[in-house]
Chains A and B, each alone.
Chain A
């Protein structure tokens, strides 16, 4: 392993002073000092004066944190991170494949046959792929490999994260992101002065300016819709916004609701919205769900609002959809009326 990675790997485990690094690493003072300088310039390490000593630690930020993950995960599996990083650009081009042959590697990377074979052997020996056949050499990429996943996050460029559609100005900026992008964003916001919160958790930081509300993105819009439907804000605002922006595929929503045994809840909600605004949910959609209503034990819709009691106004919906409803009809109507 080269001096840069050895210095980084050591500091990844615990911050060290330069003096300590010189003492414990098998390199000269000059080599270690040069490595620290290079890693600091690359924003992977940071230096801090502690009296007469200089303390070296992993820098703040997404890339540095992922780099630390990669070093520790690779080392603890007996993989040389230096070798991985040297081949990361080729590995990135192969990671999406299942079975890989030398021809495939050559086509995707432009490498010569001998180098392609070398990369394949390296993937196999580092546990990122399994041998399928020795002749001709064929390997199977191990998609469950944590080291591969971490390497891929490092290989991906930062994506431009943009907020979601809102037809009104709100006191926060919401960004709905897949977990990996949310993690990147979280690291980026750690260096900003703006307040940050993650929806659905109690994580919140105070600061100046507009709140950045980060929302983990579900696998599909329909899944997200159902997740929102479990909260008062979702029922009274987010789900309505999704419907208004035509983000919901109704047959897919029905399928997701069936999978979760929530046809009655989703159907009842859509029926209520239809009754408030026929342009928001059509009769056809409410009918689609009504046809698949389930009998059996009564489910509770929005248990969090139970302390407010029931609205007698909603009794007909309760009977029709076999539910205990704790919805705030005024709030839903207000949400439908807002833009």
Chain B
């Protein structure tokens, strides 16, 4: 097994990588293109210091499908490669470290960095389940301007989907990351607000009603996976179980 993780890179290098991701967000903000952050960075902006799980991937949704081409032009200038999908586009490029930082890495760390990419994933405001049977609508007018603070003390502002929208979308995929994220963020909204958002997205409610079972299994410890362990360590299980039970009741 390869013996390093990004967490073990020198702090200076982690800061650099984090800034690279945020540079992409700033580049988009400087244009007139309307987009909001969802996913990990949105969870971080909403959760603040409590949210300790994030990737270098920046996930967002666009206000208009016609903006995809303009974004492709802007980000191509940044050396990012565009890949088109039915649901949107991704823009990625390999991580580039200045020579003075690369010299501080061991061979294994260099190898890890060389495999890493800065990636921006933009979709239309409607996101679909993998079988395309269910969809969830983000709304550009349901966002909030928030500050995202970095380790290096830098802070940028970006439009972020409202907490109830971020949580509602995460409730459609019941893997440990989303179970943990919702556990961290659930106090940022109310069950009432969340129900309203879930019910506004066509049949999303049907999907959430099914997936919420798994969220509860982990929160209650019936399945003791990664999310359960992380929530347990932070003492979040109890309030989370109550929140999910109430949500389940309201959705039934």
A residues lining the B interface (CB < 8 Å): 162-173, 176, 195, 197, 199, 201-202, 204, 206-207, 210-211, 213, 221, 231-233, 236-237, 245, 247, 304-305, 307-309, 311, 313, 328-331, 333-335, 338-339
Question: Roughly how many angstroms separate A5 CA and B123 CA in the complex, as a whole number?
Answer: 70
Nearest 3 A/B pairs, CB to CB? A165-B2, A331-B175, A166-B5
User: Can you pick out 20 interface pairs between chain A and chain B where the beta carbons lie within 8 Å of each other?
Assistant: A163-B4, A163-B7, A167-B112, A168-B6, A168-B57, A169-B53, A173-B7, A197-B233, A206-B232, A206-B233, A233-B227, A237-B226, A245-B2, A247-B1, A304-B223, A311-B131, A328-B175, A328-B214, A330-B174, A338-B177
Contact call A232/B210, Cβ cutoff below 8 A: no
Q: Which B residues lie within 8 Å of A211 (CB)?
A: 229-230, 233
B residues lining the A interface (CB < 8 Å): 1-8, 14, 52-57, 112, 115-117, 119, 129-131, 133, 172-178, 180, 210-211, 213-214, 217, 221, 223-227, 229-230, 232-235
Q: Which A residues lie within 8 Å of B3 (CB)?
A: 162-165
Contact call A163/B173, Cβ cutoff below 8 A: no
Question: Roughly how many angstroms separate A227 CA and B168 CA in the complex, as a whole number?
Answer: 32
Nearest residue, chain A, Cβ from B221: A202
Contact call A307/B217, Cβ cutoff below 8 A: yes
Besides A172-B226, A304-B217, 18 more A-B contacts (Cβ < 8 Å) are A165-B112, A166-B5, A166-B7, A169-B7, A169-B14, A169-B54, A206-B233, A206-B234, A211-B230, A211-B233, A232-B223, A236-B176, A313-B133, A329-B130, A330-B173, A335-B175, A338-B177, A339-B117
Asked, given contacts A233-B176, A308-B211, A331-B175, whether A165 binds B226 with beta carbons under 8 Å apart, the answer is no
Asked, given contacts A245-B2, A329-B130, A330-B172, whether A172 binds B230 with beta carbons under 8 Å apart, the answer is yes
Question: Roughly how many angstroms separate A176 CA and B234 CA in the complex, as a whole number?
Answer: 22
Instruction: For the complex formed, measure the closest distance between the CB of A177 and the CB atoms of chain B, giving whole angstroms.
Output: 10
